[in-house]
Amino acid sequence: MILNQKQTTLAYRCPCCGGVPTSMVGVFSLSGNLFKLKCDCGGSVMTVEKTSDGKMRLSVPCLVCNCSHSYLISSSVFFDSDIFVIPCSLSGVDICFIGKSESVERAVDESNRELLALLGEEDLEALRNQERNRDELSDPQVLEIVRYVINELNEENAIYCNCPEGHGEYNCDIYDDYVTVRCVKCGAKQDIPTNSTIKAHEFLECDKLILK
């Protein structure tokens, strides 16, 4: 019997050569719950580790920070997304691409154009010297990250309000620089900022959301 395994396309931007190593990743290719994607230049490697609760922990080399960033995302985001792009929390430069092959290719091409335009104004060293706590304008990528996390928490019944557990009903209201998650039954709510990639990626680490 042939199993139709889940798989996705994974790519990241190598900080050593600037290339974008790309590979198909299947759930069965996570041998020993660990998958490594190495750049052909030999200067960097990205790892994907399947955690005990079925989530994916990514260690992504960063073009800007000269180090790797760690992210924790659900298996459904990892395997089922059409496209999921992760930017560096310092600079906003896209460093990781996950999704369908064609969508990843388009996202990489778009990111290449944006990076070339950005480096036309300031060099890479200038990007590395930016203040780490700098707030950024709200943009679709930050909003996408926040909405993904909210949807995942909702699917995992990890949003809590004043209603009896499992009886809350939640709406998501989008504003210029934040998103409000609100229970329509008890009125409890929580605001999540969307004007900072740093805060957005901190939100990626959340395993529950408590409305007050």
What pLDDT does residue 113 have? 84
Q: What is the pLDDT of residue 131?
A: 36
pLDDT at 105: 94
- The pLDDT score that the predictor gives to residue 124 is 54
Q: For residues 71 and 60, is the Cβ–Cβ distance under 8 A?
A: yes
The whole-number pLDDT of residue 138 equals: 45
The answer to whether 36 and 46 have CB atoms below 8 angstroms apart is yes
Q: Diameter of the chain by CA atoms?
A: 56
Distance from C-alpha of 75 to C-alpha of 57, rounded to nearest angstrom: 10
Question: Residue 132: what pLDDT?
Answer: 40
The pLDDT score that the predictor gives to residue 141 is: 63
Q: What is the pLDDT of residue 2?
A: 43
Q: How many helices (H) and strands (E) does the chain have?
A: 5, 13
Instruction: Give me 129's structure tokens.
Output: 């010297």
Phi then psi dihedrals of residue 177, to 5 deg = -130, 15
Q: In what order do the strands lie in the sheet with 178-183?
A: 170-174, 178-183, 189-193
Q: What is the pLDDT along the chain (212 residues), one digit of tens a residue?
A: 344 568 899 999 998 888 899 999 987 666 567 889 999 888 899 999 988 888 888 999 988 877 888 888 888 889 999 999 998 877 778 999 999 999 999 999 998 888 877 665 555 555 555 434 344 434 556 777 787 788 888 888 899 999 998 889 998 888 777 889 999 999 999 998 877 666 666 777 778 899 99
Distance CA 198, CA 200 (A): 5
User: CA angle 69-73-77, nearest 5°?
Assistant: 130
Pairing of strands 209-210, 159-160: parallel
| Dihedral-angle region of residue 33 (phi above 0 means left; psi in -120 to 50 means alpha; beta otherwise) | left
The whole-number pLDDT of residue 206 equals: 79
